[in-house]
Amino acid sequence: MTCKDTIAAIATPYGIGGIGIIRISGPETQKIAKKIFRPFPNGGLRSHHLYHGDIISLETAEPIDEVLLALFRRPHSYTGEDSLEISCHGGPYVIRRVLEEVFRAGARPADHGEFTKRAFLNDRIDLSQAEAVNDLILAQTSQGAKIALGHLKGRLSGVIEDIREDLIESLAQIEVLIDFTEEDGISEDQDGFLPVITRAAAKIASLSDTYRYGKIRREGLNVVIAGRPNVGKSSLLNRLLGEKRAIVSTVPGTTRDFIEETIDIDGIPVRLTDTAGLRTPRDEIEEEGITLLKNKLLDADAVLFVLDGSEDVTDDDKKLAEQITEKPAVLVINKSDLPQRLEEKRLYGLVSGKNPPAVKISAKYGNGIDLLVSEIRTLALQPSAEDRSQTMITHLHQKVSLQKAHACLTRAAEGSQKGISPELIALEVREALDHIGEITGKTTAEDILQRIFSRFCIGK
């Protein structure tokens, strides 16, 4: 694809710095350079060479700044187009003045992510690699950066292409059954395409299952501290932070809003949210706090379910347990410094369908906090052996595309076993191919592309 206009933007963060970089890309790149750069070489700019000179004003011909300039000729550039990078002094005024001259010379301001979008449209990278560029820029953890770099180098693309090859192979075998009859010596034999479809579906399911841990490594772990009033949630937050951040009181219902703070566990940011205690609200403010709690539970990656070890399980505890059945959880038995009345057998089945680990602590004195941190570390850092051995997806839309593709292949396999026509099976496989293509951008709708690239910074 060839874009008709030329774009420009500042590629370095706003502020005062030693160097500021302006990026230009498009068909008018070399003409713009010739208008504003002095001295301009007689034979023109050579690609991938560095030139020293001045950016001049088109109105006065006076120098604006002393710069270094580099041209990257298409297709051997980031965008696949003629591109230019101007390294000028990094003061806000200077870099803005240089950019103004670039615009006067014929460029227009770039949109968010437009440089990377052009790289995608010009087949320099696929969509998963384009997203990896932004993920690498925004990475908060070493593991998140490692995953993004792997995707940028084509690791996820390779896995997707492997699945596509399976689907194309199965589709080719199905098409033979459609185009030829038994009179041509071709019989409807599932032994050819059905195992290939089953294999592709298994690969898709395995990759889809990595989303939770991939997201955690990219964004961090979102942990909600939940429990009924006065069980010690705020004290636990303060203890984990190592400072007094939340108000601690023996009066139930002290926490009305929520408090969010972040701790670092082995390089992964863990966002802790202290919430209002769950009980029948006594006023509008407390009711709003409980509504916020329920919303936070929906968004949580995991829950620290705090119980009072000096009391038996209550109806409010049971009601809260019903809210977290779908979330990984740790049962935190607080107030271990007091005589214990909560029996361990009461914990079995408290969270329906599973028995999460339980840790006894004293938030007041710090007993058991190391064991609790270890359990949080397990939630964040220890996926299954399968997750560790495979490429991880990190975006929700990737997971949705995989789930849709898997549903198509499941219908295709079940239909094949029931003897439905090859034409209908082929339709399901083609739809699965389309959904897989959404991850690498082969079949992604324009509105989705716009949404993805709008999250980028303007200079990238």
Q: Is the pLDDT of residue 260 over 60?
A: yes
* Count of beta carbons in the 10 Å neighbourhood of residue 4: 7
Q: What is the mean pLDDT of the chain?
A: 85
Return the SS3 of 441: coil
pLDDT at 256: 44
Q: Is the pLDDT of residue 374 over 50?
A: yes
- Asked whether 130 and 441 are in contact (CB, 8 A), the reply is yes
SS3 content of the chain, % helix, strand, coil (to 5): 45, 20, 35
Q: Which residue carries 């009980």 as its tokens? A: 279
Among the listed ranges 10-19, 93-102, 115-124, which one has the minimum average pLDDT value?
Answer: 10-19
Residue 186's pLDDT band, with cuts at 50, 70 and 90, is very low
Residue 284's pLDDT band, with cuts at 50, 70 and 90, is low
Return the SS3 of 171: helix
Report which of 315, 373, 312, 376 is spatially closest to residue 344, judged by C-alpha positions. 312
Could you give phi then psi for residue 259, rounded to 5 degrees?
-120, 130
User: Average pLDDT of 243-268?
Assistant: 61
pLDDT at 125: 94
The structure tokens listed for 156 are 């996820």
Higher pLDDT pick, 71 / 445:
71
Among the listed ranges 343-347, 382-386, 421-425, which one has the minimum average pLDDT value?
Answer: 382-386
Q: Is the pLDDT of residue 276 over 70?
A: no
pLDDT at 175: 80
CA 388/CA 382 separation, integer angstroms? 8
- In eight-state DSSP terms, residue 345 is G
Domains of the chain: 7-110 (3.30.1360.120), 140-210+392-443 (1.20.120.430), 218-381 (3.40.50.300)
User: What are the counts of helices (DSSP H) followed by strands (DSSP E) for the chain?
Assistant: 16, 13
Q: What is the pLDDT of residues 209-218, one digit of tens each?
A: 999 888 888 8
Beta strands in 258-369 (DSSP E): 259-265, 268-274, 302-308, 329-334, 358-360
- Asked whether 392 and 210 are in contact (CB, 8 A), the reply is yes
| pTM for the structure as a whole | 0.76
Beta strands in 73-201 (DSSP E): 83-90, 108-109
Residue 249's pLDDT band, with cuts at 50, 70 and 90, is very low
The structure tokens listed for 68 are 């270094």
pLDDT at 173: 84
- Asked whether 238 and 246 are in contact (CB, 8 A), the reply is yes
pLDDT at 248: 43
Sheet containing 329-334, strands listed edge to edge, beginning at the edge strand earlier in sequence: 259-265, 268-274, 221-226, 302-308, 329-334, 358-360
Report which of 210, 85, 233 is spatially closest to residue 143, judged by C-alpha positions. 210
Residues 6+ apart with CB under 8 A from 217: 141, 143, 144, 147, 268, 392, 394
What is the DSSP annotation of 359-392?
EE-BTTTTBTHHHHHHHHHHHHH---HHHHHS--
pLDDT at 422: 85
Q: What is the pLDDT of residues 14-29, one digit of tens each?
A: 888 899 999 999 999 9
Q: Is the pLDDT of residue 185 over 50?
A: no
Q: Is the pLDDT of residue 269 over 90?
A: no
Residues 6+ apart with CB under 8 A from 445: none
Percent of the chain clearing pLDDT 70 (strictly above): 87
pLDDT at 286: 54
- In eight-state DSSP terms, residue 81 is S
Among the listed ranges 79-93, 223-237, 276-290, which one has the minimum average pLDDT value?
Answer: 276-290
Which residues lie across from 221 on neighbouring strands?
A: 270
The structure tokens listed for 452 are 């993805």
Which residues lie across from 367 on neighbouring strands?
A: 362
Q: Is the pLDDT of residue 285 over 80?
A: no
pLDDT at 405: 96
Could you give phi then psi for residue 378, rounded to 5 degrees?
-60, -40
Q: Is the pLDDT of residue 250 over 50?
A: no
Which residues lie across from 8 on neighbouring strands?
A: 24, 109
pLDDT at 418: 85
Higher pLDDT pick, 337 / 191:
337
pLDDT at 288: 61
Measured CA to CA in angstroms, residue 368 lies from 151, 219, 311, 361, 374 at distances of 39, 27, 18, 4, 10
pLDDT at 180: 56
pLDDT at 386: 44
Q: Is the pLDDT of residue 255 over 50?
A: no
Measured CA to CA in angstroms, residue 87 lies from 12, 434, 460 at distances of 10, 42, 16
Higher pLDDT pick, 353 / 391:
391
- Asked whether 163 and 436 are in contact (CB, 8 A), the reply is yes
pLDDT at 252: 43
Return the SS3 of 330: strand
Higher pLDDT pick, 455 / 105:
105
- In eight-state DSSP terms, residue 14 is S
pLDDT at 349: 78
Radius of gyration over every alpha carbon of the chain, rounded to an integer in angstroms: 29
Report which of 279, 236, 278 is spatially closest to residue 259, judged by C-alpha positions. 236
Q: Are strands 17-25 and 37-38 parallel, antiparallel or unpaired?
A: unpaired
